[in-house]
Structure 1
Amino acid sequence: MPSSNKGAKVSAAEIQSRKIVPVVVVDDAATASELGDAMVRGNLPVAEVTFRTAAAPKAMEIMSSNPELIVGAGTVITAEQVDQAIDCGAQFIVSPGTNIEVIERALELDVPVFPGAVTPSEIMTVLSLGLKTVKFFPASTFGGAAAIKSLSAPFVGVNFMPTGGVSLNNMADYLSLSCIPAVGGSWMVPAAAVNAGEFEKIERLCSEAVAAAAAL
């Protein structure tokens, strides 16, 4: 077994196989190791660590040392951040929007990338670059599951990964659609619990989320 996941390749299908991609905000990198352990124990070993805090790069580096955890970088908005994320051990890239430079740099590095796209034009741009999966963000603001269902009609074969406003209560609305292999959310890794070191709570929330997704 490898001592870390840094440099290990994963596929988009593998990332989405748990049906949920936790969106993680880390304010203090000192919490990263125990957070990753809690997610693994909760049977949800995927973490999209967002570039929303100064601690994010170090957190990615620490979490990617856990060989059982797939670590990605979220809120990636520049090509330079793609390089930084990969240097820190990230195995996939998630962007809130459609930035061609971000997409092309990730493809150059042979790393799965999920760009944000909520309009037909954005989806067509993503398709023109050879991708088939988009992040639909913020999902609740842009019409939720109903909007994705409408978009899936002209965009046959496109997969959507909604994030933003997705919760345990409405997850089924999204995952019931065949064009949605996975959703993104933060309810199982709330920042307040991370900051408070409530890792048993995070483990429980992850387990509940996995069980709910498996029942669909």
Structure 2
Amino acid sequence: MSVISKLASSLNRRDEAPNKELAAEIAGKNDKKAIAELIDNLSNKNKDIQSDCIKVLYEIGTDKPALISIHINSFIELLSSKNNRLQWGAMTALNAITTEQPEAVYKALPTIIMVADKGSVITNDHCVGILIKLAGIKKFTEDAFDLLIERLKISSTNQLPMYAESALPVINNKNKVLFIKTLTARLPEIEKETKRVRIEKVIKKLQSK
């Protein structure tokens, strides 16, 4: 049976449960044939099927990134899609497989950054996730951290606390001064006290090290 028949849209469902169940089933079986079929249908004429396919793929990637990592070029190509769902879905998939394909993701950074600059909140969230993962890989640490700082300077104040907290594992004695300086400069912009407190906690944690 084709995996397409198991997608939410094929079942006339408006919720994501069938897609999540399908992703778990494919990941559990390491079903590469099913993954190839999902990749092929990212260009299906039916946009609902396209959306379901990218959902299933990045759910698989969250569980078993190696299973979808060989299709990295397909995800990079989707970043230029006019379909916003495919675009941020592709960014989500790339975030999931960054540690599997760091070289290829690093080479695609100009496109990733360009898309994030114009993209949705989710697109930016996963762009930051990609940069944090690359910053944790010695070969790419310097470039990825510089790009991460640039994103922190322009990110939404709503997202900034999450980004700062997520970045903590890649902050060290060499880069923490710039990281703290960048966050401190953004503090006056943060109107919500709860979010400002989260940033201050990150700063204090680093200063106490």
TM-score normalised by length of structure 2: 0.32
Higher strand share: 1
Higher helix share: 2
Structure with larger RCO (C-alpha < 8 A, sep 6+): 1
Larger radius of gyration: 2
